[in-house]
Each structure stands twice: as C-alpha cells, then as structure tokens.
Amino acid sequence: MSARLGFIMLVHTALDRAAQVARFVAQAGSPLVIHVDARVPEAARKTLAESLADLPDVRFCPRHRGEWGTWSLVAAMQSASTLLLAQFPRVERVYAMSGACLPLRPVADLAAWLDRHPDTDFIESVNVADVNWTKGGLSEERFTLWFPFAFKRRKWLFDRAVDLQRLLGVRRDIPDQIVPHIGSQWWCLTRRTLDAILTDPMRPHYDRYFRRVWIPDESYFQSLVRLHARRIESRTPTLGKFDHQGRPHVFYDDHLQLLRRSECFMARKIWPGAGRLYEHFLTPREAGSDAEPQPSRIDRHFARATAQRVRGRAGLYMASRFPGKNRENGKTAEPYSVFQGFAEVFQDFEGWLAAVAACRVHGHLFAPHKAEFAGREKVFTGGLSDSASLRDYNPRAFLTNLLWSTRGERQCFQFGPGDTQGAGFDLLWFMATDSNAQISLISGAWAVPLYRSGGDFAKLRREAARLQRIEMQMIEILQSPWVRARIRIWTMAEFLENPAEPLQTLFDEIAPHAQARLMRIPDLVDLTGFGSFLQELRNQGMQPVLMGDFPQGPVSPDPQHRMK
Amino acid sequence: MGRLGEVWADYRWRKRRQRLLLRALRKRHEIRPVIDRTDAIRPGDVLAFLTLRNEAHRLPFFLQHYRALGVRHFLAVDNASDDGGDGVLAAQPDVSLWRTQASYRASRFGMDWLQGLLMRHGHGHWCLTVDADELLIYPHHDSRPLPALTDWLEAQGEAAFGALMLDLYPKGPLDTATHHPGQDPTEVLGWYDSGNYTITLKPDLGALWIQGGPRSRQFFAQTPQRGPTLTKVPLVKWHWRYAWLNSTHSLLPRGLNRIHDADGGEKPSGVLLHTKFLPGIGDKSTEEKSRRQHFGAPGEFDAYYDALAAAPDLWHPASTPWRGWRQLEAQGLMSRGGWG
C-alpha cells in the first residue's frame, strides 16, 4: 500500500537527520526523491548519498541553489516530482516534505488515510484576495510587482524596489487563467493533478510568470492546482504552525507527548538536536490505527506562546517586557479599589471592609512614614518592603508589583492628599488612566483627622490649606478627559447625608457575586463640633470648600443606622 | 535637532566603544595563559567566559550546570586565587585558563580581560559572560540545551538574550547554612523575592535598569538608588566589535541592550540565579571591604559589607521557595516569549 505513496524531500541542513527520516520512509516501502540544496558541500552530499545507498527506492534529483523566497525552491520541487513520477509509475500520491519534517505515525497509516480520501489533493490554497495572514506586508503585491533582489541578503534594495514600483504604479499582468492562491508549501497531491501541472502546455508561460513572483513556493502549486484538481482539501497535511512573524514554530523533546497525542502524520519543523523525538517517532511501530489527526491542542499551545510574545501579560513589568506609555495592554494586572476619605469619616473602615468583602484591605499604602500593608506587615507578598524610601523610589512600580503579586485577590487601599503622590501626581495619573482602578473620593474628609487631633490651630490651618490645595489638584486629574478608571466623587456633606447608598454601590462592584445586602454600615466617627472647626478655619482666613455645605451644627446620621 | 542629536549620540557611543576595545587590547598582556585549549573550539560552539577569585567550592556545580546546558568551552581568567580553584580549572579538558595578579578594579572588574578574550575567541559564537556565582536558567532549560535556544534566537533575528539576576538566600542567618562542593546551590539557598523589582529605562542607552530584591530591601532601604543593578545580558552572539560597557549589565553597540519589548509583548528572557549568599559570604565581605576592589567609590559600601559580615537573615514569611523555572515564569521573572 505504501508503495503507492511517494515522497519528495528538500534538504539543506542537518543532513544526518534527513537521512534518518529518509530511511524510515523508504523502509516502509515508499519511494523517495531527495533534493539536496546546491549550497550543501559536496562531501556532505556524498556522505548522505552513501548512507542511503542500500535503499534502492531513494533517488536524488538535479540540484538547485535554494534561496528563501525565490523560484529555486519551486524548481527543486518540480525536479523532484518529475523524477519521482517518471521512475516510480506505481506512485499515485506525492507528499512534499523537508528534511526538518518528522513522520509521527507509520507511513502505512498515512497511505491508508489517503486511500480513504480518493482523488483528493491536500494543499492549503487560499485566494490571495481573502487572506490577511501573509507576513511581511505583501499579499496581492507578491503577484503584481517585480522582485529582482533577494529579501534576506538585500533587504534594503528589496524594500526600495517595492517602494519605487508602488510609486510608479507598476502592475504586472497575471496570466489569464491564474487566480493567485497562496498557502503552505508542504502538500500532498495526486499523480493526476501533479502530472497535469507539470505537463501543462502552458507551463513555460506560467513558469516565466512565477519566476518573478515573491515566495513562489507558497503560490505556484497553490494557484495551479486550482486549474487541474478534481477535489481540493485546502489544508496542509503537515502539522506546522507559524509565529507572528511567519517563522515556523520548532518542536523539541518536551513536545513529545503533545505530538504523540496529535495523531498527525507529519510535523515540522523539528530541532535537529531533539534526539528523543527522532528516537521515539522513528522506532518502527505497528500500523493500523485509523485515528483522525487532531492538531488543535498543538495549535492552542503555540497560539498561547505567540500571544505571550505579541501581547504579553497585562500588568507585568520585567526584564523582557517594559511597555511604553499606553502600550501596556493593561496597565495593571487586576481590578483594585482606592478609597479617599473613607477611613477618615468611618471608624475602622479597613476592618469593616475586610469583613464584608472578600478582599485584601490595606491602610494608606502611600502614607508618608511607611506603607501601611494589611495587618501592618513589614514585608508583604512578593517581598515588598514597608519602607517609605524604597516605595517612593518608584511608587508606580510599587503599585504594579503589588497588584501583579496578588493576582486572584482584590486589593483595596486608602489614599489621600497627605500621601506620596509621585512627581507631578504621577501615581494618581497612572491610576486615573487605568481601567482596573476604582477610585472613590469623599472630598474634604482629610479635615476630620485635623479636627480630631487638636493642638496648635495655626499649624492645623496651614496643614488644612496644604491638603485642600493638593486635593483640588487631585480632583482636577480625576475629572480630566483622559480618565479610564471608574471614579466617584462626593463632597463630605453629600456623602454623609446618606452613606449607606454609595457604600452599597461600591460593595456591589467590589464583590459582584456576594448577593447579600450590607447588613451594617461602619460607624461614623464623632463629628460633633466639626462644623464649628470649619467655621474657625474660615475665621482664620482659610476657605474650606471641598467639604460641601457642611451644616454648622452637624446633623449626623444615626451612628447605629441599619439598612432595611 | 532630533536627527542631528541622534547622529552625534551615535558618534559619541562609537568613540566610547572604540576606547573600550583599545583599553582591552592594552590590557591583554596582564593575563598569562596557564593552559590554552582554544584549538578545540569548533564553529557554532557555545562558549562561556568568566573571571573569578577564590571560587573553588562553587566551580564543580558551575561546570556541571553549564556543561549540561551545552557549553562546549570555558575561557576563565583567575585573579590571584589562593584556594586551589585554578588547579581545578586547569585540569578540566574543556577549560582554557589565564591567570593574573593585576588589579580587578583597574580592569573594570575583570571586563577588560574578558573583553580581550572575547575579541580573540568569541567572534561568531554565542558567548556566555557570567560570574562563578551566576547560574543561567531559561524557559525549558531542563529539556532544551543552549544550542536550541541560540538557534531559535538566531532565527528570530536576536543577537542578545537578557536575564534578571535573582538573589537566592537561605532561611536563617547567612552563616548557618552548609554547602559542599558540587552540591546544587538551590538546595542551600532555597528562597528568593518574587515581586519587588523596580525598572527604569535608561533613555540614552536604551537599556533597562532593574533594581530590588533582598539586598535592596535589607541593606539599601534608605538609599534605594544604590541598590544592586540586576539587569544582565549574559548571552550574546559575539562580534569582535562589541564591548561590555558596565560589567555585564550593558554593552555597545546600544541596540544589543534592547532585550525587552516596548509594545506590550514579551521577549524571551532568563534568570541568572545568584548564589552569592552561600556560606563564606561573611568572610568574603570582610575581605572585599579591605581589598576595595569592588563597585562604587571606595568606602561608599562599607556599611553594606559590614551588614553582610554580620550574617543577617534575609528570609521573611513572604519569601518564595525555589521550585524551578516554571514558577519563575509564572511569576513573571522570566518569559518564554514566543518560544512555545
């Protein structure tokens, strides 16, 4: 059965591995024609030929000098196919592979599988008008421009030639019958189709055209097959994924289980040093499994790696990922809550929040003397120190580190105008433009601790003026048009009118799955006399405005207020 | 101005690089070959370059680690060791050894000596430049040796591979652990800090400046700007024109420092496991303090050496136990990039 399946193999490096694979294929009874790149030194070619001399059905075809993206690869495939079809008349299917391909299942299984799909050509062939996955920026232009310069060796000339032709509006004529299609160069065609392509009376005309197409090995057979095939199954029979730059993913020893479970027939490309893969898959095994190839697991594996390369992990800043401004794909790792003024108007707000919502509640993380971690730890998750000088050396990194290290657990912390702000309010700008941030601010609440502290009033007055100035700037930032955080601002007077409602809203956002209504809101601090304190500030010439219209004789809500 | 400024900057960096290369050429006579086996180097071999002083107890595992990763030849400069380490090295079939009594400090902490060796033997090879207390690991290092990595990097068009230097430490005072030669240091130094690193971009050089870790936390809390630099470029496809600029933290031409992605993606990177805190660090610190051969203005780091000599305990409940590269990658300390 395997004798009806022939292989052509293109090799240019790792000839010893290619020889192993060739032997495996030939010993299964399949004829094989090898094209050795003309750049391979004669000695190496001879060694390869000698090592396979005992296999009568392994032949070598005339050699071409392969250069990536050029006609030579098509020429090599033509030579090899022509020789194979001529010398092995029993061959009904031709499978194109490279020296870096590895058969994952017995050749007989592949032959049997092909027999179950008679008259079908397996070749990825996608109309170039419909693709968006070509790499290198050229898709249709591959067919309508001229490419006199090698892409890899003469990149600059290559690019200028393209620019110039675009400028001049150069447009080559595509031969009438041809509709440009592209796809992987590793295919499996029927003798009938391949023969029709190779013996087409128009072939010299087509060849002349494709000689000047860019990367013709991805389009020659893929386009011509459309003229001759009876039934096209547009997919490559070889397992092989490409990364975001169009370079093939490489298989190593640790992919063995993935490859084994894929049930695919052939994979590329294999790292030549992957000894375990070669040993495992080239050990003769019992044929007879009719399992269908399942490449999806491997596809997902590489898709994840590509996503990590291209988009990275949100909120991660590290040695090989340091996104510039607005290139972060997520400034921080996870949603977090910033409370300004809450710890000032409620008694033990931290303890209350930690009890009602399943999240980590810190104090003022950016307090001037030290970082107030939950439980006032000296060193927090990830090794973050509570030292203010370490934190203030790079406050933004402090925040992103904390959020990265605590992924899976929501972080809440207190903030205020007395805290470290970073140069030019750097920290607040960062949070305000971060869609993960939930910032809730009760304006003017910083005055409560001042009022409760007592002491030298002139000093209090100066401090009040300073904090008010800072908080006004903070509010300005939070109201700027660039804001992406979820921001709520109340004046203190507004908030105290009915604290239960805003608290419930915040709670719902922090713990969306906790169905419970808040049973109890935290107790307010004693604000008796706060109105007079504000009046005294006014009397001393300072104008406290951020608290809103705070009544002189405060009508504090019932501290034991309970939700309905 | 922008364009002109760029040209001017390029010119100045080129001059700087040429000066560094000349300096290395001048200093090449400071080192004397003990045994030169560089004839054994074959095209495509991965090479390792190191300067060392009194690291005899680290050498057996160091050699074992890098041989397992596929390093084919070690080129070592011994700076006046008196612990027999040079003898150990000279006896290895894959080591070429040079020896010098000259000043480590005046040789830019050994970089001038290595620069000369790199120029002569490193050209066209992927070269590791590491210290004896640095063990490079990277994603999949347990199943894919360095040639697998370098083949892939080369296909990606990369010429350098970056790493974070990760300080490993024991639980308990530094002088209470025991380590015998050949033992895997992670068995003794089983802990590290997973997430307290700060990064600044050096705009002129295009390099990242990473600081943090247990040393910053413990010894430099009041002066974080003096905290150790943890950026490393340990693996480079060497060209004789390249020059180390600041230890192995950065090099010229500047483009080689671009080991990070700035558009949100992750380039591949590794971690240099730093085994500085193996037993003996206390004595070593006392010696370093008196030799004044190390980084920074002499005297500036005396307090640091004193603190180290007092055998502090770097461990805390938030320390992370060492569990291998998969955990380091999950914690974002290294990345496979697109190397799936």
The pLDDT tens digits for A354-391 are 988 889 999 999 999 999 999 999 999 999 999 999 99
Residue at B162: amino acid letter: G
Contact residues on chain A for B156, CB-CB shorter than 8 A: 245, 247
Q: Is the pLDDT of residue B265 over 90?
A: yes
- Give mean pLDDT, residues A14-31: 96
**CB pairs A-B closer than 8 Å:** 185
Contact residues on chain A for B334, CB-CB shorter than 8 A: 318-320
Cα–Cα distance, A471 to B217 (Å, whole number): 31
Say yes or no for a CB contact (<8 Å) between B269 and A319: yes
A417 or A245, greater pLDDT: A417
Interval B127-182: pLDDT, tens: 999 999 999 999 999 999 999 999 999 999 999 999 999 999 999 998 888 899 99
Among B72, B201, B261, most A C-beta atoms within 10 A, so best to mutate, is: B261
Q: Is the pLDDT of residue A555 over 70?
A: no
Token pair for residue A538?
């006014």
Task: Point out which residues pair with A486 in neighbouring strands.
Answer: A438
Q: Is the pLDDT of residue A195 over 90?
A: yes
Interval A2-14: pLDDT, tens: 779 999 999 999 9
Nearest to A390 among B151, B152, B221 (CB): B221
- Give mean pLDDT, residues A105-128: 94
- % of residues, chain A, pLDDT over 70: 95
Contact residues on chain A for B194, CB-CB shorter than 8 A: 382-383, 405
Extended strands (E) in A355-463: 360-364, 379-380, 384-385, 411-415, 437-443
Nearest to A247 among B156, B162, B262 (CB): B156
Say yes or no for a CB contact (<8 Å) between A254 and B198: no
Confidence of residue B1 (pLDDT cuts 50, 70, 90): low
Residue in chain A closest to B194 (alpha carbons) equals A382
- Confidence (pLDDT) at B298: 63
Residue in chain B closest to A322 (alpha carbons) equals B262
- Give mean pLDDT, residues B194-198: 97
Task: Point out which residues pair with B161 in neighbouring strands.
Answer: B235
Cα–Cα distance, A376 to A365 (Å, whole number): 10
Token pair for residue A159?
């690019």
Q: Is the pLDDT of residue B325 over 60?
A: yes
Extended strands (E) in chain B: 32-35, 46-52, 71-79, 95-100, 126-129, 134-137, 160-167, 191-192, 197-202, 207-212, 231-237, 243-246, 250-252, 269-274, 320-321
Structure letter (DSSP) for residue A47: H
B311 or A512, greater pLDDT: B311
- Confidence (pLDDT) at A562: 41
Q: For residue A506, which of A442, A564, A447 has the smallest C-alpha distance? A: A442
- Confidence (pLDDT) at A172: 86
Contact residues on chain A for B193, CB-CB shorter than 8 A: 382-383
Q: In the block, which residue shows the tokens 């990242």?
A: B208
Nearest to B148 among A252, A379, A402 (CB): A252
Verdict on whether the full-model pTM lies above 0.80: yes
Say yes or no for a CB contact (<8 Å) between B221 and A394: no
Lowest mean pLDDT among A435-439, A508-512, A521-525, B175-179: A508-512
Distances (CA, A) of B288 to A89, A561, B104, B284: 79, 66, 11, 6
* ipTM score of complex: 0.95
- Give mean pLDDT, residues A130-145: 72
CA distance between the termini of chain B: 43
Confidence of residue B297 (pLDDT cuts 50, 70, 90): low
- Confidence (pLDDT) at A564: 35
Q: For residue A26, which of A55, A65, A61 has the smallest C-alpha distance? A: A55
Residues in contact with B326: Cβ distance below 8 Å, sequence separation at least 6, in sequence order: none
- Give mean pLDDT, residues A442-469: 93
- Confidence (pLDDT) at A494: 93
Torsion of CA B2, B5, B10, B12, to 10 degrees: -160
Q: What length is written for chain A?
A: 564
Confidence of residue A133 (pLDDT cuts 50, 70, 90): low
Residue in chain B closest to A324 (alpha carbons) equals B262
Lowest mean pLDDT among A14-18, A202-206, B289-293: B289-293
Contact residues on chain B for A304, CB-CB shorter than 8 A: 340
Nearest to A320 among B221, B269, B319 (CB): B269
Cα–Cα distance, A277 to A256 (Å, whole number): 6
State chain A's mean pLDDT as an integer.
Answer: 91
* Cβ atoms of residues A228 and A221 within 8 Å: no
A517 or A493, greater pLDDT: A493
Cα–Cα distance, B70 to B147 (Å, whole number): 7
- % of residues, chain A, pLDDT over 90: 71
- Give mean pLDDT, residues B295-309: 77
Residue in chain A closest to B151 (alpha carbons) equals A271
